[in-house]
Structure 1
Amino acid sequence: MFRNALTVTAIIVTSTALSTGLAFAGTDAFSTTGQASARFISYGDKFEVCDLASDGATAYVQYEYVRINGTLQKGEHRNPGNAGSCHTFDHNFGEGRVVKFRACEDHTAWPDHCDSWKKGIA
């Protein structure tokens, strides 16, 4: 009887795993300059960009991603709001792929200030 119960349990677990598929759990990551922040949210492949200071600088995120075919996708997203605002940008990166990004501040009178590159996994 015990052997039959184990066989039935194994069949149920196997059929459940095959029918639902196995999902890859991504990795979130965070970057900040102190006056701007960027967060990569692996569930849904999103960037959240926040302007943390009333300094007139625009908060933005730069990102890099190597596609499965080996080509490099680069870009940036700028928070259209003012100090205290956050804005979310959607993507569709390949599952399990590394996404490099960093928070930056756009200063018109001097060079932009950016954090070091961070890595999330889609």
Structure 2
Amino acid sequence: MAAALAAVAYAAAPATATGHVQTSNGASSVNFYSDGEKFKVCDLAADGHSAVARVTRSDRGSTVYRVWHYKGAGGCSTYNYSMPEGTDVKYRACLGSYGNNTIWGCSVEQDDEA
């Protein structure tokens, strides 16, 4: 019975980000959740630009991924990536133009592990 209660309590606990970065002007942020390998990209400013995460993974070589939130200020998009445990993940919060796939104004790089 105690094991069942512990499992219920664990399942109800909210996920906690293991890493967070934000652009220097505060317009874009990225949270990484190693449990489930999820990225949450948020647009924090009504400036006409999209929020985007620039992501690299050690299991994919030099491939750079762009994870976009292009639906407007005040919102976030969450993406679930499947990657092996122990994968090194590096990411930055950036501003961008989704229509022409350009990014700029990126934060410092955050290094994390899946």
TM-score under structure 1 normalisation? 0.69
Q: CA deviation at 1:49?
A: 0.2
What is the CA RMSD across the aligned residues, in angstroms? 2.1
Q: CA deviation at 1:74?
A: 2.1
What pairs with 1:1-80 in structure 2 (closer than 5 Å)? Answer: 28-33=18-23, 34-67=26-59, 71-80=61-70
Q: Distance in 1 between matches of 2:38 and 2:84?
A: 13
Large movers: runs of 4+ above 4 Å: none
Q: Distance in 2 between matches of 1:73 and 1:93?
A: 14
Q: Distance in 2 between matches of 1:42 and 1:50?
A: 18
Number of residue pairs aligned between Structure 1 and Structure 2? 93
Q: Distance in 1 between matches of 2:73 and 2:61?
A: 35
TM-score under structure 2 normalisation? 0.74
Residue 115 of structure 1 aligns with which residue? 107
1:34-78 deviation per Cα after TM superposition (whole angstroms, max 9, x unaligned)? 1100011111101000000000011000100111xx733321111
3-state secondary structure, aligned to 1:92? coil
Given that 1:66 and 1:73 are in contact with CA atoms closer than 8 Å, whether structure 2 keeps it comes out as no
Counterpart AA for 1:95:
E
Q: Distance in 1 between matches of 2:80 and 2:62?
A: 18
Residue 84 of structure 1 aligns with which residue? 74
% identical equivalent positions = 32
Flag structure 2 segments of 5+ consecutive residues without an equivalent.
1-16
